[in-house]
Structure 1
Amino acid sequence: MLLGRKRKLGRKISEITIGEKLTLSEKIEDKDLLLYLGLTDDANPLYIQHDYAAQTSYKKPVVPTIMLTGLISSAISKYLPGPGSHILKQDIDFLKPVYHYGIVHFLFEVVDVNTGTNTIQLSVKGTNEEEEVVIQGLMQVSPPERLGGMDGKALENF
């Protein structure tokens, strides 16, 4: 159970340096699409109807862009800077569609560290199986803050 165990916080700003990189790959499966569509009640035919999508310039159903944004957000929360971080701003371009069952290879890179505002800038680039850039952006992120003066019980559900 996620809420029942303690988790380690991600790295604080003093532990992050410009030039750090993170790579990961994500495959878009039916279960992911169904969860998104069920959660949002988004019935856009471009996302789910092969006969409709075939008549468009996309030729087949595409992955909702918000799902790709979610993959980026998840990577930031899990890995760089990690648990306890918060996205403050995002500027993302969706350059090419990602199709069902597609694999996106993400590259994250720390491009700025501002200790005065406790923020970092992360560039993100996603490529498909043909090595075409499908998504790119810049994220402003606040790394986890270290809490002082709290006893161990305060974060038991974290």
Structure 2
Amino acid sequence: MNIGKPRKIGKTIDEIEEGDSLSLTESIEDNQLLLYLGLTNDANPLYIQHDYAQKTSYERPIVPSIMLMGIITSAVSKHLPGAGSHVVNFSVNFIEPVYHYETLTFDFEVIKVDKMKDVVTISVEAINAEKDRVLDAVVMVQPPLLTQESEDIHE
């Protein structure tokens, strides 16, 4: 990564339309879980201890909810609208637990473009490999705001 080097930014509010969509698939692996737990110092036994989790209704360790939110915000930053975006509101409903090693498909759709407020609203649904819906979310995002200087790096 070159700090200070101009890089392409995401779509501006004028380039986004209702109905724009994105689908991505993510697998939850041990290295991601360990990084999250190490960064947050979260020692919840429900996330990592098989012996503890077996005694709960979940029966095995689950993925921390905030990790799933991180996958969503990462997709916003990388893809829709893309680099330079800023999440201003996030509402999520965790429907089913997500277990270690699951593969999830996240479907994103722009459901509202508010040019007066410079905000787009994106609905998100995630399903697991068994096609069970595990979460629904609504994310309000401020797309990249262009200044005269940044116009040069936006194509």
Alignment TM-score, normalising by the size of structure 2: 0.94
1:53 matched to which residue of 2?
Answer: 53
1:77 matched to which residue of 2?
Answer: 77
Q: CA RMSD in A?
A: 1.6
- State the AA in 2 paired with 1:54: Q
How far is 1:7 from its partner? 1.7
In 2: Cα distance, 1:6 partner to 1:150 partner: 8
Structure 2 counterpart SS, 1:6: coil
In 1: Cα distance, 2:101 partner to 2:44 partner: 18
In structure 2, the CA distance between the partners of 1:150 and 1:128, relative to structure 1 (3 Å rule), is closer
Alignment of 1:36-51 (within 5 A): 36-51=36-51
Alignment TM-score, normalising by the size of structure 1: 0.92
Q: How many residues of Structure 1 are paired with residues of Structure 2 in the alignment?
A: 153
Aligned pair 1:28/2:36, yes or no? no
- State the AA in 2 paired with 1:140: M
In 2: Cα distance, 1:29 partner to 1:122 partner: 26
- State the AA in 1 paired with 2:63: V
Structure 2 counterpart SS, 1:82: coil
In structure 2, the CA distance between the partners of 1:117 and 1:50, relative to structure 1 (3 Å rule), is same
How far is 1:2 from its partner? 5.4
Q: Percent sequence identity over matched residues?
A: 49
In 2: Cα distance, 1:151 partner to 1:144 partner: 11
In 2: Cα distance, 1:39 partner to 1:60 partner: 22
How far is 1:147 from its partner? 1.3
Provide structure 2 residue ranges, at least 5 long, that are not aligned to the other structure: none
